[in-house]
Chain A
């Protein structure tokens, strides 16, 4: 290859790398230079180069536990802790990929918490939220597969979030597989 062509090639690659990482930096950084630039970098980065580095920021200061119970009429089974059950399963064999179950549930819980806000709420029917659908599906899967749940029964979900000095409860009633 001729030296001139080599120089052009090297300059082209350097330009590409410079553009690529500047766009990534702007896309994933905690501050933004401007809304238009942010939109332009998002256009380039998502979904092919998407990444997020808010690892444990903010540091979690609250603990959420999801409980499920099923029953019919006046007869209900005791509440079963879904979150603790999944974490226990994950810890039994960390390399068996069970972190996916725990991650799925904890992510879904944090989306629900974010959507519903910091308050105690009771729902007489399933809220029309994608985050709730993700969480509900995860909880149902867990109960069906690990607790031998009979199909066609009613069930309820209880999400308890404990922050320093505060406790919020989200109670979802009248849920059914039918």
Chain B
């Protein structure tokens, strides 16, 4: 996840003129609410190229801290607020994946626990750590369930024509996807719906997990490279990696809770 955030920082630098310069492509309007919400719109409300640059530098530094396991509760909180600000400012360019990344960063705040001398605080850290693990897993399941639920309300998804329709729109297709036969598009249509609706219930079974994750990774690689939604596809794959990584780790924690904190 921290590597992906570094990639995002690089992309922001590469597209600095597009996103942050005086003649930027982004259209912004201040959103003052005079409440706690303003904390999310600092970059949007007080925009300047310098502030944009400062945000990119801060994003790089905080991601590096996380990557080298030097992050703590405060740095993770700042990283979450920073990404919320960038999402608020770049609202017209973000996808559902970016919002999901923000949720992962929220739970990531509670992960940064290095064991200390006090057994009381170590127990507290372990409790927060476990809550964040559960939070991430439920969040991913919720995302899939909601995406599947919305599809049940759409006639095109129900009659099996949605995937074929999407593959005919130039912005979300490629030559290969455009030429897929109708029957295959229908299979993909219903497979996607079934996958999204069943994921929250079946992912907890060890025998199903590997097949679900393999299907999901292939699906999101097609979204990233075939449909052109690179960032969205990669964020979803990161979710799978977190799911797998923390699943294995959870088993280790059950055997030796102390070892987990030491490994962080």
Contact = CB atoms under 8 A, between A and B. Distances in A.
B40 A47 contact: yes
B96 A47 contact: no
B154 A94 contact: no
Interface string B42-56: 000000000000000
A128 interface: no
A103 interface: yes
A178 to B, nearest CB: 15
A48 B107 CA distance: 12
Interface in A1-33: 1, 6, 9-10, 13, 16-17, 20-21, 24-25, 28-30
Q: Is the interface of A mostly helix, strand, loop or mixed?
A: helix
B218 interface: no
B231 A99 contact: yes
B156 A141 contact: no
Interface stretch (A69-77, A115-123, A129-137, A168-176): A129-137
A62 B218 CA distance: 27
B162 interface: yes
Contacts of B14: 96-97
Interface string B141-172: 01100110111011011000111011011111
Interface string A61-98: 10100000000000000000001100100110011111
A41 interface: no
Contacts of B149: 29-30
Nearest to B230: A94
A57 interface: yes
B24 A141 contact: yes
B100 A51 contact: yes
Interface in B96-148: 96, 99-100, 102-103, 106, 119-120, 123-124, 127-128, 131, 134-135, 138-139, 142-143, 146-147
Nearest to A25: B142
Q: By CB atoms of chain A within 10 A, which of B24, B37, B146, B172 has the most?
A: B146
Contacts of A84: 170
Closest 6 CB pairs of A and B: A97-B11, A59-B162, A53-B146, A141-B25, A59-B156, A100-B93
A46 B91 CA distance: 13
A1 B220 CA distance: 43
Given A29-B149, A59-B157, A17 B135 contact: yes
B37 to A, nearest CB: 6
Nearest to A46: B37
Given A17-B131, A47-B37, A100-B19, A57 B153 contact: yes
Contact of B166 (A24, A50, A60, A107): A60
A101 interface: yes
B206 interface: no
Nearest to A103: B93
Interface residues of A, number: 59
Nearest to A20: B135
B59 interface: no
Contacts of B228: 87, 90-91, 94, 99, 102
A13 B131 contact: yes
A30 B229 contact: no
A94 B170 contact: no
Contact of A21 (B131, B142, B163): B142
B166 A56 contact: yes
Given A20-B135, A59-B154, A106 B18 contact: no
Contact of B25 (A6, A30, A94, A101): A101
14 contacts: A17-B131, A28-B142, A53-B147, A53-B150, A55-B96, A57-B157, A58-B156, A61-B165, A63-B168, A97-B230, A104-B25, A107-B92, A138-B25, A141-B24
Nearest to A58: B154
A57 B155 CA distance: 10
